[in-house]
Structure 1
Amino acid sequence: MKKWLGLVILSCLLILASCSSNDNNNKVIKNNTKGDKEKVTIVPQDDSKDYQAIHSKTPSQTRGYIGYGVTNRKDIDEMEMGLMTLSKEHFNPDKYVFQEGRYLSEDEINGMLQRKSKKNPDGLNPPYGKGSNIQEKAMNSPKELSYVLEQDYLVKESDNKYKLGGVSLAISFNSVYHDKVMDSKGQTYDVDKPLDPNKVKANAKNYAQKVVQRVRQNKDLKNVPIFVTLYLEASPDSLTPGYFFNKAYVSQGSSDIGGWNTVNQKYVLFPSSNANDKYKEDAQSFDKFKSDVQSYFNNYIGITGEGYYKDNELSNLTFNINLKFYDKTEIVGFTQYVASLLQNKFPFDRSIPVQIYIKSNQQPEAVIVKNPDMDKPFVHVYHQ
């Protein structure tokens, strides 16, 4: 499922769930490993390749907690949606339904993310290093592990009962150690230290083994299969997200991660030196499209692109166009012009899904979507 449509569909499913929670035909009884029962709603998938979602009136206790460890919104979205996509390899949507993580508590997650110390001997991040002050001590021993994201996949036990069938984890790591540390006097200091990505990724497997062992200590997660993924975050101010780089499957009841498999995917920003150096043809295509877009107005039009590469092949394109408009007719005319470029003069391969977001002073004005199976782009102009 394409990234943009996946985000839209998930949002629609959640809205549908809240609207249909009083529909008795959708209510089921979910069994959890604690033995208690809860009435929930099963939200049907929009596409047969996607998961049905479980909606509960009781939110997960870790709802929104990911922001504690992952600061870039791009990374949060990619971790959540990317983990769901990767999970399909082991938890088939034909058999499993999706539920946000409900078994690991904030205390359990936070206990893993903390530095190892006398106060927190079970912390997985390293203790403070040497230094004359707390800032130096933090810089000399940076945190690598940033978050542990849980997703649950349930299977139908009978006509109206579901039970936990598997758990997926996205274990994320810093590419930049960005933190605030406090000394004994209550004074805070900012820490920003770029990390060697190769070193972080080499250490990640050891962290992951410890995370799985810790997860197995949760009595509700002792015996279910666990799908583990490793994710390297982008820098906090990056316009593109980081990427998954390894995955592994831990069998039911096991605490040992056997072999790892490589996940070959990444996001590339256009324009950028990275795109010019490593993806020259695509960078030239972006420049051509940008020039065609900017020819519509004499004044400056800001445009950036984000390319998603899977197994070194461009698999998805997203463009953000920002321009100051003075009236609605300008927005409509410009949107129609960009849609015509996408239909008739687009320099990229037409088999690549494309999403274009048009903004004015950072406020959304229009969206254009073109997938390979569409004869014409989908165009929507917002009416505010």
Structure 2
Amino acid sequence: MNIKTGILLIIPSLFFLISCNKDTVVTKTTSAEKNVAIQEDQIYQIKQPAKSNISRGLIVRNIDNPLNIQEIEIGLMDFSSKYFPTDKYYLQEGQYLNEELINKWLERKSKDEPDGLNPSKNNNGLLKSERESPKILSHVLEQNFINKKGKLAGISLAISLNEYYHFSVMDNKGATYTDEVKVDNDNNKINDVETYGKKITRNIINDIRSNKDIPRVPIFITLYQESKQNSIIPGRFLAETYLSEDEVKIPKWNSINRKYYSFPSDELYKKDRISSDILSDLKTDIQKYFVSLNPTVTGSLLYKKDELAKMNINVNTPVISDTELIALSQFITSEINIISPKVDTTINIVNHKKEKVGFITWNPVAKKIYTNL
């Protein structure tokens, strides 16, 4: 069997950043980071000396699911490249929306917090008031784009919104209650999360444009709807808009057709029966030929404009020896380019500690298989 081993790049997750169009290279990160496929000719160069986001660490506190954090950061860069091309601009971590400002927006609107952008709360008791008025705004991510002269040329924002509101409250006796409610719980076919996001974006733009410390530059904005805390797939981008440096009002919103589907799931089967069946056959074969490993197979599939764009599959096994790992990886290597020949595909081998002990990636452009064990 001819296994082509790719060159592995060690890339810090926040310094070499991504836009998705052409040739890919497999990356290898530490166990605390994630493997990410990057584009050789679409990498944003970082303006040196590199600066940390002035609200660094806040996104981890505000967004619970790391898949949402990864998707919102990567997705924002991907969409931004349309307005701030990678060959003309440097990327820089956000330098203008500080923790104080973001936290002010995240507050519930009230007499004490008139600038809060989350719904005000009624007085129907601790639990009931939280259920009836869930918080929707979760975080605001900022990315800056610097021109070749070293000046700020644009700002991109991802406004992250809760699809489900998870909360914890304590009564006057010290007892703690937790619950989770769906923000949009009606069946009127209108996404209340998106509607609310568009509404509060006007306030965010007003605050930015009226702030003398923030340069008057074009602003690109996306709305992102988070998936649940324990979801195995990220959420999805809902809409985007762009304001020139002279604009203070949003001209229009454009819908974004980009969504992840989990495998196995009825939703994926209805969306793409062929891919669902192919993955089901792969799952059956792995479980048939590697019975002793007691493997399970799950994954996520990304669709852009209703077309399959990327597969990420996990083969989970409680215990695996080095020899078994080699055998399993060889079997996957023989199958990976057949699963979806035209789509970037990564299959991870994951142990009982949820650690990746190996991965195999198919690059359909270079027609190469990259392995890492």
Query: Under a length normalisation based on structure 1, what TM-score does the superposition of the two structures give?
Result: 0.83
SS in 1 for 2:147: strand
How far apart, CA to CA, are the structure 2 residues paired with 1:181 and 1:242? 26
Structure 2: which 5+ residue stretches go unaligned? Answer: 1-5, 17-37, 185-189
Counterpart of 1:168 in structure 2 is 156
Q: 1:188 to 1:119 in 2, by over 3 A?
A: farther
> What is the CA-CA distance between 1:327 and the residue it aligns to?
2.4
Q: 1:347 to 1:375 in 2, by over 3 A?
A: closer
Counterpart of 2:22 in structure 1 is none
> What is the CA-CA distance between 1:326 and the residue it aligns to?
4.4
How far apart, CA to CA, are the structure 2 residues paired with 1:76 and 1:89? 21
Counterpart of 1:35 in structure 2 is none
Higher relative contact order at CA 8 Å, sep ≥6: structure 1 or structure 2? 2
Structure 1: which 5+ residue stretches go unaligned? Answer: 16-44
> What is the CA-CA distance between 1:187 and the residue it aligns to?
5.1
How far apart, CA to CA, are the structure 1 residues paired with 2:50 and 2:90? 17
How far apart, CA to CA, are the structure 2 residues paired with 1:164 and 1:295? 57
Counterpart of 1:154 in structure 2 is 146
How far apart, CA to CA, are the structure 2 residues paired with 1:47 and 1:281? 30
Checking the alignment, whether the CA contact within 8 Å between 1:153 and 1:164 is kept in structure 2 is: yes
Q: 1:225 to 1:184 in 2, by over 3 A?
A: farther
> What is the CA-CA distance between 1:112 and the residue it aligns to?
0.4
How far apart, CA to CA, are the structure 2 residues paired with 1:185 and 1:76? 36
1:188-232 CA deviation, whole Å, 9 max, x = no partner?
432310121711112221111111112223323241110010111
How far apart, CA to CA, are the structure 1 residues paired with 2:39 and 2:200? 37
1:360 to 351, 355, 359: 351
How far apart, CA to CA, are the structure 2 residues paired with 1:358 and 1:289? 14
Q: How does 1:69-80 map to 2 (within 5 A)?
A: 69-80=62-73
Checking the alignment, whether the CA contact within 8 Å between 1:286 and 1:305 is kept in structure 2 is: no
How far apart, CA to CA, are the structure 2 residues paired with 1:173 and 1:296? 43
Q: Aligned residues: percent identity?
A: 36
Counterpart of 1:11 in structure 2 is 12
Q: 1:57 to 1:266 in 2, by over 3 A?
A: closer
Q: How does 1:1-384 map to 2 (within 5 A)?
A: 11=12, 14=15, 47-56=40-49, 59-131=52-124, 133-157=125-149, 162-183=150-171, 188-196=176-184, 198-299=191-292, 300-343=294-337, 346-348=338-340, 350-361=341-352, 362-381=354-373
Aligned AA for 1:96?
Y
Cα RMSD after superposing both structures: 2.2
Checking the alignment, whether the CA contact within 8 Å between 1:130 and 1:140 is kept in structure 2 is: no
How far apart, CA to CA, are the structure 2 residues paired with 1:185 and 1:266? 44
> What is the CA-CA distance between 1:46 and the residue it aligns to?
7.2
Aligned AA for 2:348?
Y
How far apart, CA to CA, are the structure 1 residues paired with 2:159 and 2:97? 13
Aligned AA for 1:11?
P
Aligned residues: 338
Residues 68-77 or 318-327, more deviating? 318-327
Q: 1:279 to 1:58 in 2, by over 3 A?
A: closer
1:281-329 CA deviation, whole Å, 9 max, x = no partner?
2211110121122222123211112100000000100001111344211
